[in-house]
Amino acid sequence: MITIRNKLATTILLTVYFSFSPNSFAVVEGVIGNVPLQKNLNVASQLPTTNAPEIIISRKQFVISYNKVNRAPNWASWELDPSKMGNADRTNGFSQDAELEEYLEKQGGNYHAVTSTEYRGTCFDRGHQVPSADRTDSTKDNEATFAMSNMIPQTPFLNRVLWEDLERYTRDLVTLKKKKAYIIAGPIYDQNFGAIGPNRDIPVPSKNFKIIFLLEPTQTAKDINNDTPVMAVIFPNTLPNGKPAPLNDSAECSDISSSNADWNQYRSTVKEVERLTGLNII
């Protein structure tokens, strides 16, 4: 059983099983958001599963598995087609996820949603998992991507060079090649890169993954199968020289130059992402 609490703290019980391995089950702590999960087009017929703590955030713009311990997503998933890209400006309104904070407060314990200033004074950008530019059809949809529940600590080199280049490439596939994309992204913690925030309770991922399934315009994420074309990429969350970034802000943090800054060199496989994260993707 999974207990889901809405804003009125009404308890609803659903019977849902998420298989993680033949001998274990991942349990979703709760579901919040304005779209029923079973009707959300931003998720495939099977959720990625994890043995990490997770609260599912199901909204029109995305689905996020939020880890209240790491204070960051386990994964984020979203669908991208030309209708999601329009003329809305980047709102740049980083903000605490108010609905998530309300949920955490009701559950008790010392868990809080990240505020917009908790990355301040560090070497790390507030790194979107669901990109702002993938939701420019309306100001409201763009604003949703700036919730801090959609962020992980990314070095400027990762965020502004490698990650951004892959984002552009994906949007080009959708607009120029007339494809639809279903995308899953999230952090990897296979090395200890320390933690940031006033209480040093936001672990810094060592890597960031992205998996992109390419669909035909009439397909949805629920049509994904073993024959669906897919790309997987694993980026190091480091400085251009490959070294971990210092936790506090310094001159070397702003260096985003690199003669080898080609995202293609970081192509990987879904199986490798699953191995490093413990996720069962599809």
Which residue type does 278 have? G
Given the residues 84, 128, 135, 180, the one annotated as active site: 128
Q: What is the pLDDT of residues 105-124, one digit of tens each?
A: 999 889 999 999 999 999 99
**In the structure encoding, which two tokens stand for residue 232, read together?**
């997987």
The confidence band for 282, taking pLDDT boundaries of 50, 70 and 90, is confident
Q: Give the whole-angstrom CA distance, residue 253 versus residue 66.
A: 27
- Asked if residues 158 and 65 have their Cβ atoms less than 8 Å apart, the reply is no
Q: Which among 131, 163, 147, 142 is positioned nearest to 89, based on CA atoms?
A: 142
Residue 233 in this model has a pLDDT that exceeds 70: yes
pLDDT at position 13 is 27
Do residues 135 and 91 lie in contact, with contact meaning Cβ atoms separated by under 8 Å? no
Residue showing tokens 């502004």: 160
Arithmetic mean of pLDDT over the chain: 90
Q: Taking 50 as the threshold, does the pLDDT of residue 167 lie above it?
A: yes
Active site residue 128: yes
Beta strands 30-32 and 55-59: pairing type?
A: parallel
Q: For the segment 34-91, what is each residue's pLDDT rounded down to a tens digit? A: 999 999 999 998 889 999 999 999 999 999 999 999 999 999 999 999 999 999 999 9
* All domains in the chain, ordered by first residue: 2-277 (3.40.570.10)
Judged against a pLDDT cut of 80, whether residue 19 lies above it is answered with no
State mean pLDDT over 10-17. 29
At residue 17, the pLDDT reads: 31
**And the tokens for 207?**
């890597």
**CA gap 186, 270 in Å, rounded:** 13
Write out the chain in H/E/C secondary structure.
CEEEECCCCCEEEECCCEEEECCEEECCCEEECCCCHHHCCCCCCCCCECCCCCEEEEECCEEEEEECCCCEEEEEEEEECHHHCCCCCCCCCCECCHHHHHHHHHHCCCCCCCCCCCCCCECCEEEECCCHHHCCCCHHHHHHCCEHHHEEEECHHHHHHHHHHHHHHHHHHHHHCCCEEEEEEEEECCCCCCEECCCCCEECCCEEEEEEEEECCCCCHHHCCCCCCEEEEEEECCCCCCCCCCCECCHHHHCCCCCCCCHHHHEECHHHHHHHHCCECC
